[in-house]
């Protein structure tokens, strides 16, 4: 069986344009089941646009996208519900509903996609909150009462509400201090291993790439230049890749990984 047939996400010939500005041209990407893939690129390279295209929140001008064996761009409601039911998303800054408690936020996907009794949804939501590393008392707090790291953990709990096979994370460690970012990396890795998830992770954090990612996809020149293990990517002779991975921060992240 071909790699494309095995892929949990398959993108072919993707074109995204905004007016005269071309973000993606003939972009191709495959994500394998059970891996953590890190997506990196310079400002304006279209990392979030790619994620939104895969989630059908942004309709491209051309291309094919398959997610979990279904056409992600199909207007068929059954296909859309299947993909939504089996994917979880942590957007930047968690994007929690400010007027709902953490518990209520985590229950939102359950109420939309299941007919479970309220009590069962509350119990499941509490399990997800604990899985995300939050104490039970955090469940009754509003997002404004949480620290930045706690809001991200609450966002993870909501993303896991429906036991998805596929988890999307958009800059999960942005805004966290180095200790908090390292703890969040460990959380992602532990959840991925415990639940057997496939993780699509947009990041600029070199420590995250070296610590938890199986492969790294680099967006540049309006396409995916390379999609490979991080050490292989770092050896690609492209100006942006060399500046990113061979600069002081890249060397520090590599050396830290070697010391581990």
Q: How confident is the model at residue 70 (pLDDT cuts 50, 70, 90)?
A: very high
At residue 217, the pLDDT reads 97
Stretch 192-213: mean pLDDT, rounded? 94
At residue 38, the pLDDT reads 97
Contacts of 115 (CB under 8 A, 6+ apart): none
Contacts of 18 (CB under 8 A, 6+ apart): none
How much is the pTM? 0.91
Task: Name the burial class of residue 34, with classes exposed (0-12), middle (13-18) and buried (19+) by CB atoms within 10 angstroms of its CB.
Answer: middle
The proportion of the chain whose per-residue pLDDT surpasses 70, expressed as a percent, equals: 93
More confident call, 236 vs 4: 236
The proportion of the chain whose per-residue pLDDT surpasses 90, expressed as a percent, equals: 82
Contacts of 177 (CB under 8 A, 6+ apart): none
At residue 255, the pLDDT reads 63
């Amino acid at each position: 069986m071909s790699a494309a047939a095995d892929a949990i996400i398959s993108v072919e010939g993707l074109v995204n344009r905004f007016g005269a500005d071309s973000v993606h041209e003939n972009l191709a990407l495959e994500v394998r089941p059970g891996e953590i893939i890190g997506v990196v690129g310079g400002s304006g390279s279209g990392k979030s646009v790619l994620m939104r295209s895969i989630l059908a929140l942004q309709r491209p001008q051309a291309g094919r996208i398959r997610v979990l064996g279904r056409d992600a761009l199909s207007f068929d409601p059954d296909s859309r519900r299947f993909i939504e039911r089996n994917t979880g998303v942590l957007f930047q800054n968690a994007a929690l509903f400010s007027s709902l408690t953490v518990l209520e936020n985590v229950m939102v996907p359950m109420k939309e996609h299941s007919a479970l009794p309220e009590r069962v949804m509350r119990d499941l939501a509490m399990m997800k909150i604990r899985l995300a590393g939050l104490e039970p008392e955090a469940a009754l707090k509003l997002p404004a009462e949480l620290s930045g790291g706690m809001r991200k953990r609450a966002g993870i709990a909501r993303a896991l509400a429906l036991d998805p096979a596929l988890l999307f994370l958009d800059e999960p460690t942005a805004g966290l201090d180095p200790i908090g970012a390292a703890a969040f990396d460990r959380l992602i890795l532990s959840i991925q291993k415990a639940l057997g998830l496939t993780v699509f992770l947009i990041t600029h954090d070199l420590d995250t790439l070296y610590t938890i990612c199986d492969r790294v996809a680099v967006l540049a020149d309006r396409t995916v230049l390379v999609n490979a293990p991080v050490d292989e990517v770092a050896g690609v002779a492209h100006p942006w890749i060399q500046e990113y991975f061979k600069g002081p921060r890249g060397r520090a992240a590599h050396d830290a990984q070697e010391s581990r």
